[in-house]
Chains A and B, each alone.
Chain A
Amino acid sequence: MAWQTQASPPAQPGPVSTPIGSPGPATPPVASPAAQATPSTQGASGSVEVAGAPVQTGQYNAEPMGFYTDTTVCIGCKACEVACKEWNQLPASNGGANLLSGLSYDNTRRLDGEHWRHVRFIEQFDESRSQGRWLMMSDVCKHCVQAGCLEVCPTGAIIRTEFDTVVIQSDTCNGCRACIPACPFGVIEVNPVNNTAMKCTLCYDRLQAGLQPACSQACPTASIQFGPIRELKGRANMRLEQLQGQGVDQARLYGADDSIVGGLNSFYLLVDEPEVYGLPANPQLPSRNVPTGAGLSALGAAALGVLGAVGLRKHRMDQFAEEARASAASGAVDGEVRGG
Chain B
Amino acid sequence: MGSLVVLLADAPSDTFYTKSPHWGWLIVFYFFLGGLAGGSAFLGGLIDLFGARQDRFAARIGHLLAAPLIAVSGVLLIVDLNRPERFWHMLIQNNTGEPMIKYWVPISVGVWLVSLFGLFSALAFVGVAAEQGWLGGRLQGLRTLREGGIGKAISALTALTGISVAGYTGVLLADTNRPLWGDTTLLGILFLLSGVSAAAAAITLLSGRRANRETLHWLGNMDAVSSLLELLVLIVLVVSIGSVVREVWGNAWGVLVALGTVLAGILIPLVLHWRPNLLGRMSVPSAAALVLIGSFCLRAAVVIASEQS
Q: Is B101 an interface residue (CB 8 A)?
A: yes
A289 x B104 contact (CB < 8 A): no
Distance from A19 Cβ to chain B, minimum over Cβ atoms (Å): 11
B46 x A305 contact (CB < 8 A): yes
> How would residues 152 to 185 of chain B score, 1 for a CB under 8 Å from any chain A CB and 0 otherwise?
0000000100011001101100111110011011
Q: How far is the CA of A277 from the CA of B2 in the complex (A)?
A: 9
- On whether A290 and B171 interact (CB within 8 A), knowing A280-B14, A296-B186, A311-B221, the answer reads yes
B90 x A154 contact (CB < 8 A): yes
Q: How far is the CA of A280 from the CA of B193 in the complex (A)?
A: 33
A183 x B168 contact (CB < 8 A): no
CB-contact partner of A103 in B2, B22, B55, B178, under 8 A: B2
CB-contact partner of A175 in B51, B82, B102, B176, under 8 A: B82
Q: Which residues of B contact A183 (CB under 8 A)?
A: 18-19, 177
CB-contact partner of A319 in B5, B52, B93, B95, under 8 A: B52
Q: Which residues of B contact A155 (CB under 8 A)?
A: 86, 89-90, 93-94, 100
A154 x B174 contact (CB < 8 A): no
A185 x B2 contact (CB < 8 A): no
Q: Which residues of B contact A309 (CB under 8 A)?
A: 46, 49-50
B104 x A290 contact (CB < 8 A): yes
- The segment from B105-113, B125-133, B201-209, B275-283 that touches chain A is B105-113
Q: How far is the CA of A182 from the CA of B178 in the complex (A)?
A: 8
- On whether A300 and B193 interact (CB within 8 A), knowing A311-B218, A316-B52, the answer reads yes
Q: How far is the CA of A278 from the CA of B14 in the complex (A)?
A: 10
Q: Is A152 an interface residue (CB 8 A)?
A: yes
Q: How far is the CA of A27 from the CA of B54 in the complex (A)?
A: 51
B107 x A315 contact (CB < 8 A): no
B106 x A290 contact (CB < 8 A): yes
A174 x B83 contact (CB < 8 A): yes
Q: Which residues of B contact A152 (CB under 8 A)?
A: 105, 107, 175-176
- On whether A181 and B192 interact (CB within 8 A), knowing A186-B18, A195-B83, A280-B14, the answer reads no
A156 x B93 contact (CB < 8 A): yes
Q: Which residues of B contact A290 (CB under 8 A)?
A: 104, 106, 171, 174-175
CB-contact partner of B96 in A27, A278, A307, under 8 A: A27
- On whether A293 and B174 interact (CB within 8 A), knowing A104-B1, A319-B54, the answer reads yes
Q: Which residues of A contact B108 (CB under 8 A)?
A: 26, 154
Residue of A with least CB distance to B225: A307
Q: Which residues of B contact A187 (CB under 8 A)?
A: 19
Distance from B248 Cβ to chain A, minimum over Cβ atoms (Å): 14
Query: Taking each of A30, A176, A298, which has the highest tally of chain B beta carbons within 10 Å of its own beta carbon?
Result: A176
Q: Which of A144-200 contact B (CB under 8 A)?
A: 148, 151-157, 171-178, 180-190, 195-196
CB-contact partner of A312 in B5, B46, B82, B182, under 8 A: B46
- On whether A296 and B185 interact (CB within 8 A), knowing A26-B101, A186-B17, A276-B5, the answer reads yes
Distance from B6 Cβ to chain A, minimum over Cβ atoms (Å): 9
A26 x B186 contact (CB < 8 A): no
Q: Which residues of A contact B22 (CB under 8 A)?
A: 177, 180, 190
Distance from A275 Cβ to chain B, minimum over Cβ atoms (Å): 4
A281 x B14 contact (CB < 8 A): yes
A293 x B187 contact (CB < 8 A): yes
B101 x A175 contact (CB < 8 A): no
Q: Which of A257-310 contact B (CB under 8 A)?
A: 273, 275-284, 286-287, 289-290, 292-294, 296-301, 303-305, 307-309
A315 x B21 contact (CB < 8 A): no
Distance from A129 Cβ to chain B, minimum over Cβ atoms (Å): 13
Residue of B with least CB distance to A280: B14
Q: Which residues of A contact B168 (CB under 8 A)?
A: 294, 297
- On whether A275 and B2 interact (CB within 8 A), knowing A175-B82, A180-B21, A293-B170, the answer reads no
Residue of A with least CB distance to B104: A23
Task: Give 12 CB contacts A-B under 8 Å.
Answer: A120-B5, A153-B105, A156-B93, A156-B102, A175-B86, A183-B18, A183-B19, A184-B177, A195-B83, A278-B2, A294-B168, A300-B193
Going nearest first, the 7 A-B pairs with the smallest beta carbon separation are: A175-B82, A104-B1, A174-B86, A181-B176, A297-B188, A280-B14, A297-B167
Partner-B contacts on A (CB < 8 A)? 22-23, 26-28, 30, 103-104, 106, 109, 112, 120-123, 148, 151-157, 171-178, 180-190, 195-196, 273, 275-284, 286-287, 289-290, 292-294, 296-301, 303-305, 307-309, 311-313, 315-316, 318-319
Q: Given A154-B102, A174-B86, A176-B81, 8 more contacts at CB 8 Å?
A: A23-B104, A27-B95, A152-B105, A173-B83, A181-B178, A276-B9, A290-B106, A304-B226
